[in-house]
Amino acid sequence: MQKYLSFFRLRFSMGLQYRTAAFAGVITQFAWGAMGILVYRAFYEVDSTAFPMTFSAVVSYIWMQQAFLAFFTVWMMENEIFDSIINGNISYELCRPIHIYDMWFFRTIANRFSAATLRCFPILVVASFLPKPFGLQPPASLIHFFLFLITLLLGLAVTVSLCILIYSLTFFTISPAGLKILFTSMVEFFSGAVIPLPFFPEKIQKMMELLPFASMQNVALRIYSADMTNRQMFSAVTLQIFWLITLVSCGKKLCSMAEKKVSIQGG
């Protein structure tokens, strides 16, 4: 555990060093969120009855999405891992006394965690002080908040395990870049990054909610904005745990297959 913790510290202080980058990131995400909210306001003003969520729920959804962007975006993959697979440096990693899956897992979590902790607070603070309909609302109840934190971490773990599935798949493909781009655009869409899942037609939404992609950002963001009933929350958390276990075990399996492949072919 110690080695993972020190890795996290290293990442965090690297992140701090690039303060301008962090600051710019905050500004970018803030502008992005604000524009998104303005779009929904326009639609809301046209026909509020067709709105599947309350307006303030959408606003909270978007601010939380921007604040924890680093947790959930799939295009933010570890290029170092990709490169090491492509150029064969991964064989060095295999010599170290660490399981490659665990290492990737913690490394990705550490990266995303440090990026998000640096960037989330300014966004959260500013967003909660915005005037009424545009501001981030406090959570509906303490239980909601507690569940939000849990599902946020679960969602992060699901996202990371999905990303590692992609890293391992690159061992078996000729074009990692192509795989990455196909995967990224698909996941973004199904996870509710483009529009929140409730905005889809009901049948499609029901189906999408069962997919692993819905266990990423969708659950936490909607629990925070109190968009789910108790029953829905329960089944969403169960699904998250189910997908986490499934994805991790698939990933581990694939990873050990890849390890074998590397040791046979020499990378």
Partner 1 sequence: MWLKLYIHYISINIRSMMQYKTSFLLTAIGQFLISFQVFLGIFFMFQRFSNVKGFTYSEVLLCFSIMLLEFSIAEMYARGFDQFSGMVRHGTFDRILVRPQNEILQVLGSKFELTRIGRMLQAIIMFIYGISKSEINWTVSKIFTVFFMLIGGTALFTGLFLIYAALCFFTLEGLEFMNVFTDGAKEYGKYPIGIYGKRMLQFTTFVIPYALVQYYPLLYLLGRKTNIFYVFLPLLAILFLIPCYLLWKWGVHRYQSSGS
Partner 2 sequence: MITMEHICKSYKIAKRNAGFGEACKALFHRKYEKIYALNDITFTIKDGEMVGYIGPNGAGKSSTIKILSGILTPDSGNCFVDGRIPYKDRIEHVRQIGVVFGQRSQLWWDVPVIDSFELLKDIYSISSSMYHTNLEELTALLNLGELLRSPVRQLSLGQRMRCEIAASLLHNPKILFLDEPTIGLDAVSKLAVRDFIHKQNQIHKTTVILTTHDMQDIEALTKRIILIGKGKILMDGTLEDIQKGNKNIDETVAELYRTYDI
Q: Looking at 16-24, 95-103, 157-165, 196-204, which segment touches partner 2 (CB under 8 A)?
A: 16-24
Q: Which stretch binds partner 1 (CB under 8 A): 88-96, 146-154, 176-184, 216-224?
A: 176-184
What is the C-alpha to C-alpha distance for residues 94 and 145, in angstroms, rounded to an integer? 41
From candidates 2, 4, 5, 17, binder to partner 2 by CB under 8 A:
17
Q: Is 253 in the site for partner 2 (CB under 8 A)?
A: no
Nearer to partner 2, 118 or 214 (CB): 118
199 binds, among partner 1, partner 2, none (CB under 5 to 8 A by kind): partner 1
207 binds partner 2 (CB under 8 A): no
Q: Are 127 and 136 in contact (CB under 8 A)?
A: yes
9 touches partner 2 (CB under 8 A)? yes
Considering the complex, state which of residue 31 and residue 210 has its C-beta at the smaller distance from partner 1.
31
User: b/e map of 73-111 (b: 16 or more CB within 10 Å)?
Assistant: bbebbbeebbebbeeeebeebeeeeeebbebbbbbbbbb
Kindly state the smallest distance separating residue 14's Cβ from partner 1, in Å. 12
| Contact flag: residue 241 with partner 1 (CB under 8 A) | no
Out of partner 2, partner 1, none, what residue 235 binds, judged by CB under 5 to 8 A for its kind, is: none
By the rule CB under 8 A, 13 interacts with partner 2? yes
Total residues at interface with partner 1 (CB under 8 A): 38
Residues 18-57 binding partner 2 (CB under 8 A) are 19
Count of residues making up the chain: 267
Nearer to partner 1, 141 or 175 (CB): 175
For partner 1, the binding residues (CB under 8 A) are 18, 20-21, 23-25, 27-28, 31-32, 35-36, 38-39, 41-43, 45-47, 50, 52, 174-175, 177-178, 181-182, 184-186, 188-189, 194-195, 199-201
